Structure 1
Amino acid sequence: MNFNKKSCLSAFIICTCLLGIVHAQGVKKLITPDFLKAVRGNMRVSAIQYEGTKALNKFEFGNNGLTTDSAQWLLDLTSKQGTGPGMLEITADITLKEGHAAATALEVSFDFSSWSNKNYVMVPASMYNGNRYPAIGNGYNPPYTRDMYYNPNVPLTISNNPRLSAEPNKASLVQLQTGNAATPAMCFFSPSLRKGFILLITQQTTLGNSGLTIAENAKQDSCCFRISAPSVRRLAPGFGDFHESGDKAPDWKPGDHVTITMRLYVFDAGSIPDLLTKFMQVRKDITGANNPRNILPMSELLAVSSAICSGNFIHVPAGSYYKPENNDDFQLGWVSGMMNTYPMLALNNPKERERVAEEIDFVVNKLQGKSGFFYGGIEANGRLLFEKMHPDFPEGQAMVRKNSDALLWLMKHLLLLKAQGFGNTIKPGWESAAKKLAEAFAKAWKKYGEFGQYIVPETGQIAVFNSTAGAIAPGGLAIAANYFNHPEWLVVAREAANYYYQRDVVKQGLTGGDCGDISMDANSESAFGFLESLMALYNVTGDKSWLQKAGVEAALCSTWVLSYDPVFPSGSQIAKLNCHMAGAVWASIQNKHSAPGICEASGDYLFKLYRATGNKLYADLIGDIQHAHAEAVNMPGHYTTNNLIGSSMERIQPSDAEGRGSVGNFINTRNSWTETNGMLMAIELPGIYLQTDKGKLLVFDHVEAAVLKKDKKSTTLLVSNTTVYDANVAVFAESSAQAREPLPYTAFLHWPKVMVKAGQKVQMQITTGNKILTIKTLN
């Protein structure tokens, strides 16, 4: 962010080197700058005295301490080399030995010379590519300016978020705290040095959340990453704006001390994907493995959430449909419209199947424009809803994201109906609508070379270009090409996926702009949506090159997911419920909060990526997401939304973006989309996954499982249910050879289920063919 440039310049200190004391096996050694030499870095430790949030004095520590007019400080630095040469763990223990220090914070700084504004800077869920883009507005969901419409050259434009300067010869100062990041980290990739740097810290010290500051000088040839204990920011970032932080530096008395623990990585990196991949590997290294709780079996989650959805089916003048939100208006895609129908169809219930058919009829008859693209919504009274409009352009516009969702999910409905044996109920109008939509995407691609962010459904014109709003479109096109035997759409899907991968992931290290309430801001939904497309292309083609791209994209997705269980204020709802929130998914750099689950998908593509590669990080990521979602579900004795049983809502708030009082508190409402992704996870993820020949065992459901016995013909598992709910657990067993084949979208229909009642243990014998031979209840 570029506010108060004089303060920024005065806060920035020219790089100096700290030689500190290290204790290793009882022998004192010096920390030299050798570890940071490859990235032209040095390290300093300082004490900063404040008046409110204004820095008054800054004192730098010497070898082992610091003496000021009023205080004598001791500094004890310890370091530990990692298993490889590229990691160093540093602990700074700082004690006030004598005197007093009013309103003082401690700071560890890493100063980098040979810096370039071409460096990719990333703070997980807060900054991507330094957020070094033009910004508009001063608040939530700012309107687009006139020049952004029908302009193929419109730059990627974000809301008023913390950012490094997009203009030359301007200094930058970004002030965050650990609660603003999905992982407390600051990272960069230097193309000129061909090196990557990752700095991990813990969320808190004894002084509370720590600060994360990035300061760049006016020449943009020096930069400083700073950690402060505690966080003392002048302004705290909100939803596209800033407010007074209210941060306060503590007063110190003799004996007070603080310990700052850091883990540094310096490694060879030839590209942004190298940095992202490394980050996914190390993101939990300093906080350690998290401990998800088993509290809500997936079968129970499906039962209570589908009951809410079933009760929200309405008949209004516009048509008949499951309400996507808390009012009677309909929104296509994004927030559940014609997406919550999928789990309802998967229930294989005649009543719900008929309702799903009514909603598909309504969507294809009321919302599709002449071009084949759909309008994004309709009021209950039948009036079409237009999106991101400008007074000078009266033609109705719609989100490309919603159209991408519509294509993907319409195709998935058709596949599911056929797999269930109800292909005869598919109406020609449904397939015709899917063809028209796929062709509309293909025509847009051929004409513009991208899908844009907003389109005009009547003409097919792109109204707003740029962004990764079409992230899910290649996936829908690939499935449609296979379903309708239309290879030309597969060509478009391949070209579009390669284009977005190179332009957005490889060159910018972000995807964004596919939400209706942000600008082109980086966001998680486009990241996960693009992963959906990459895995769809692998599913349809079997081409393993898509797996490599999907691995990089999964790494980008991991930057949006809480990697640890944050400490929330003791009086907050989340703290009182002892919720373990590792796995909550951050929304966007504008909407600074995390949420229960992916908007809007099961994330089964992460499981599919695990099957194809054997990399357990992908399975662990979706396992974390599923368990964090369950923590947010309103259940008896575990009240979150204070709404319907089974309901959930989109706020898991570790940051003070909405004010200090919002940290750790749910909002008393519900969101259909969070309930939908919970149902999708319960359906499309196996409860237990077993590779029978390798003995690989994964558990996504809220049960425990262990291998008791294994021979050439079968494997015997012990499954325990420690929750208060009965669990009907889906079991998926296969060989490692079978795992190398892409998994069909409707594979879940063939997974056998085993009932494990609350408090029970069950012993089951499974064959390689996913057949359960015996089930024995032990208690």
Structure 2
Amino acid sequence: MCRIKANFFLLFLIIVTTSKKSFSQLSDPEMNRMLKQVSGSITFLQRQYNGTNLVSENVFRSKELPGAWQLALKVNPVKESSDVVDVNATFRLTAGQVASATVAVKFDFSNWSAANYVLVPASLYNGNRYRSIGYGYNPEYPHDMYYNPQVPLTISNNPRLSIENDKASLVELQTGNMATPAVCFFSPAEQTGFILLTEQQTKWGNNGITITEDTHKDNFSFDISAPAIRKLATGFGDFHLSGDKAPDWKAGDEVSLRLRLYVFKAADIPALLTKFFKIRKDISDNSAPRNLVPMSRLLELGTGICSSNFTQQQAGNYYKPENNNDFQLGWVSGMINTYPMLSLNDEKERKRVSEELDFVVRRLQGKSGYFYGGIKSNGEIIGEKMSHDFPEIQAMVRKNADVLFWLMKHLLLFKESGHAAMINKDWEEAAKGLATAFVKTWQKNGQFGQYIAPETGEIAVFNSTAGAIAPAGLALAANYFNRADWLKTAAAAADYYYKRDVAGQGLTGGDCGDISQDANSESAFGFLESLMALYNYTGDHKWLSMAEVQAALCATWTLSYAPVFPPSSTIGKLQSNMTGAVWASIQNKHAAPGICTSSGDYLFKLFRATGKSLYADLIRDIQHAHTEAVNMPGHITSNYLVGSSMERIQPSDAEGKESIGNFIHTRNSWTETNGMLMALELPGIYVISDKAKCYVFDHVKVTIIKKDNRELVMELHNPTAYDASVAVMSETTLEAKHPLGYTAFLRWPKVPVKAGGKIRVHISGKDIKW
């Protein structure tokens, strides 16, 4: 076997032809060595179709065979590493014409096990190898899911590997279904990880990824095809005819499938996730995010919209969470959008926030201490995930976790902004009651469940990671009320979720009201909030280590590249760079502008604590993708107000091919809320003064003009069409070792920079001048 040595560049070029029903394979010694570690092999294919029905499949053989198809294969080592190679397979038709044809690279794995963890970012987590229910969006729960501690994790009808004995698996996807076009797995038996990165498309359109597993679950394969040809495309919990069509080839047509293959030692699922986070952009076109609208302008517009949505209804007085007068608590903005309004330090808005908090604790808290999830404008309580068999009103555990976390943040902000006297003791009592309810549930059940009965406190639906943010709320409450026992429960719950869900299954899920217990991004980001809260209040680096793994899981949900959208689509016409858009869930197959509902400042805190720019890059990407979706003059994304936005960034055909790249012309207040929160809780520029380094989150450019022991001088350039007020946070390396509080943003100076203008900022220790 040919071995690659240091400073040796391998170029392996093969020109071959095809013949029907020929099964010998062509490869490369180094690639074979890597694949052998996972009992893998590689094959190069040409196929013909009638519609979406496969008519013939040809396997590339030796170069001596005559024929019109050629394959040029290049296999190159990457950075002299022993665990990664680049594979470039160029397929060419040299003569004649071939109708309805595709080409593909196929990987086969023998000695496979159903115990292997399979990841396709934003599509498959642990292979989605779970019980499935329903056919369509937000299916009803069967009787056996209620009040049943033994309920298995249950998902909607999504692409998945089978859990049934003697049932083969077929998963048909295209790259638009993925946050990163990749197939990954971890083998516990081999203690090995595998990651295959590919590109979105060729000239024929999006590539396809088809996964199969045999009935005995001991053989597994997947192929990358150009283009995607699926019988069925996946929707929101259902499937529909794909409408895919194989292209007609003529002499001279060629396409290249570019792949990067990693095979590496991995002790567990976290090792695979952290490896993926580091390399997920390795073959992407990593164009810089566009500077469109300063964060301060987004905050100004968002708070203006929110202020105009304050309403007085029969039920009470509140900021409308969505597009009607009913009130939904937590999750999609209710009692979350109040936080940026409180931060304005405006007397009118401060009074309105107080009115909403009064309304929430007066009308929505049940006897157990838990809260109901919503109320209609006429005062009728809204039940969630109800069943006629169990008429007792239920509420989402996730919403209750949001209430505890955000109520505590409001109390802190009232105090830190100098308005502690306005705190109503009923708010504090409500927070105590809710924290106590969570602790009782934990002590009784060893979990928080997915749905709760607010009157009794009983778990109505068990399982899932719906309480992902509950440890954060308990940690804040424990510190505020000096309750060490609550912090102990927070730590125990976070440890449980990490071991069972993150390390044990490589997923978190079930905390959205419109999915089942599906893997989703919101629980992933919410759990990161909890881990960083525990680090904040304990200083224990155990939580920081877990947070690094959790951030890697969050990254699997976030677009790592800028998808190519149809030129005629809205996003295509705007030429938006949607790197950083966050996928919703394995059921709701679309990306969104931001995290529902959070600033993601815990990623900034993780960056600060570790010095690793991966975390800063991730939240910067998320913020800039959000801005790409904001409705602005000359950048129309909705038919609503300037500064509004909506929740659909659609790279896939889950809602039909016509939906790709087109916004739905509505607005979602939660996307506006997370935009305000990012503008509020992330610094525009973060400076490590003693190292003369800075990281820019805002839509400005920074040039370091001078740096010495006395001062750092930066020039800020605002290339946008809007005046900016840029928050600058400066500290030393030593100061960065200490956790950052939840109201630190109150102390960040704001540097004004006119549209198109420049200004110099002088930083000397804590002193910032301009």
- Structure 2 partner of 1:604: 601
- 1:40 and 2:10 are equivalent in the alignment: no
Q: SS of the counterpart of 2:148?
A: coil
Partner of 2:441: 444
Which residues of 2 match residues 603-682 of structure 1 at below 5 A?
Answer: 603-682=600-679
- Confirm whether residue 246 of structure 1 aligns to residue 243 of structure 2: yes
Check whether the contact 2:22–2:59 (CA below 8 A) recurs between aligned residues.
no
TM-aligned CA deviation for residue 740 of structure 1: 0.5
Judge conservation of contact 1:65–1:72 (CA < 8 Å) in 2. Answer: no
Mapped contact 1:43–1:111 kept (Cα < 8 A): yes
> Which residue, out of 22, 26, 30, partners 1:19?
26
Which position in structure 1 is the counterpart of 2:68? 72
**Cα shift at 1:122:** 0.4
Q: Which residue of 2 aligns with 1:7?
A: none
One-letter amino acid of the counterpart of residue 389, structure 1: M
Determine if contact 1:19/1:31 at 8 Å carries over to the other structure.
Answer: no
- The answer as to whether partners of 1:321 and 1:362 remain within 8 angstroms in 2 is yes
**Code of the aligned partner of 2:516:** S
1:620, 1:541 → 2: CA distance?
26
Aligned residue for 1:339, secondary structure, equals coil
Q: Which amino acid aligns with 1:73?
A: W
% of aligned pairs identical? 63
Residue in structure 1 matched with residue 50 of structure 2 by the alignment: 51
Partner of 2:77: 81
Q: Secondary structure at the match of 1:384?
A: coil
Equivalent in the alignment of 1:367: 364
Q: Distance in 2 between matches of 1:555 and 1:595?
A: 18
Give me the whole-angstrom Cα distance separating, in 1, the residues matched to 2:65 and 2:141: 52
Question: Are 2:183 and 1:186 aligned?
Answer: yes
Match status 1:743 vs 2:740: yes
Which of 488, 504, 519 is equivalent to 1:522? 519
Q: Report the Cα offset of residue 114 of structure 1.
A: 1.0
Change (3 A) 1:693 1:64: farther
- Opposite residue 636 of structure 1, the aligned amino acid is P
Partner of 1:327: 324
Counterparts of 2:266 and 2:411, CA distance in 1: 44
Q: 1:484 aligns with which of 481, 484, 487?
A: 481
Q: Which residue of 1 aligns with 2:304?
A: 307
- Alignment match, 2:128: 131
- Corresponding residue for residue 588 of structure 1: 585
**1:347 and 2:344 equivalent?**
yes
Contact 1:535 1:605 in 2 (8 A): yes
- Distance in 1 (CA, whole Å) between partners of 2:324 and 2:34 is 57
Q: Name the counterpart of 2:4.
A: none
Pairs aligned (count): 750
Do residues 420 (structure 1) and 417 (structure 2) align?
yes
How many Å separate the matches in 2 of 1:608 and 1:306?
25
The amino acid across from 1:46 in the alignment is L
Secondary structure at 2:561 match in 1: coil
Aligned equivalents of 2:52, 2:267: Cα separation in 1: 39
* CA deviation map 1:231-260 (0-9, x unaligned): 000000000000000001111111111111
Give the C-alpha shift of residue 35 in structure 1: 2.1
The answer on whether the counterparts of 2:286 and 2:562 sit within 8 Å (CA) in structure 1 is no
User: Are the aligned partners of 1:177 and 1:209 in contact in 2 as well (CA < 8 Å)?
Assistant: yes
Matches within 5 A, 1:80-159: 80-83=76-79, 84-159=81-156
Confirm or deny: 8 A CA contact 1:18 1:43 kept in the other structure: yes
Q: Say whether the 8 Å CA contact 1:217–1:223 is kept in structure 2.
A: yes
Q: Is the 8 A contact 1:581 1:628 kept in 2?
A: yes
Instruction: Look up the match of 2:750.
Output: 753
Which residue in 2 is equivalent to 1:222?
219
Do the aligned partners of 2:43 and 2:60 also contact (CA within 8 Å) in 1?
Answer: yes
| Structure 2 Cα separation of the partners of residues 229 and 620 of structure 1 | 31
Paired residues of 1:64 and 1:75 also in contact (CA < 8 A): no
Matches for 1:413-562 after TM superposition, within 5 Å? 413-562=410-559
TM-score (ref. length: structure 1) = 0.95
In structure 2, what is the Cα distance between the partners aligned to 1:713 and 1:354? Answer: 45
Q: Which amino acid aligns with 1:43?
A: I
Give 2:760's aligned residue. Answer: 763
Q: State the Cα deviation string for residues 177-200 of structure 1 (Å, max 9, x = none).
A: 000000000000000011000000
Deviations 1:141-174 (A, max 9, x none): 0000000000000000000000000122211010
**Counterparts of 2:547 and 2:21, CA distance in 1:** 41
- State how 1:264-275 maps to structure 2 within 5 Å: 264-275=261-272
SS of the residue corresponding to residue 385 of structure 1 reads: coil
Tell me how far apart the structure 1 counterparts of residues 70 and 261 of structure 2 sit (CA, whole Å): 23
Of residues 458-467 and 100-109 in structure 1, the stretch that sits farther from structure 2 once superposed is 100-109
Instruction: Measure how far apart 1:353 and its partner are.
Output: 0.2
Q: Does the aligned pair in 1 maintain the 2:508–2:523 contact within 8 Å?
A: yes
| Residue number in structure 2 paired with 1:8 | none
Gaps of 5+ in 2: 1-19
Residue 26 of structure 2 aligns with an amino acid whose one-letter code is L
Contact 2:169/2:214 (<8 A) preserved = yes
Q: Secondary structure at the match of 1:566?
A: coil
Alignment match, 2:3: none
Displacement of 1:420 in angstroms is: 0.3
Change in CA separation of 1:714 and 1:384 when aligned onto 2, cut-off 3 Å? same
5+ residue gaps, structure 1, are 1-12, 23-29
Question: CA separation of 1:255/1:153 partners in 2, compared to 1, >3 Å: closer, same or farther?
Answer: same
Q: In the TM superposition, what is the alpha-carbon distance from 1:16 to its structure 2 partner?
A: 6.6
CA distance in 1 between partners of 2:466 and 2:759 (Å): 46
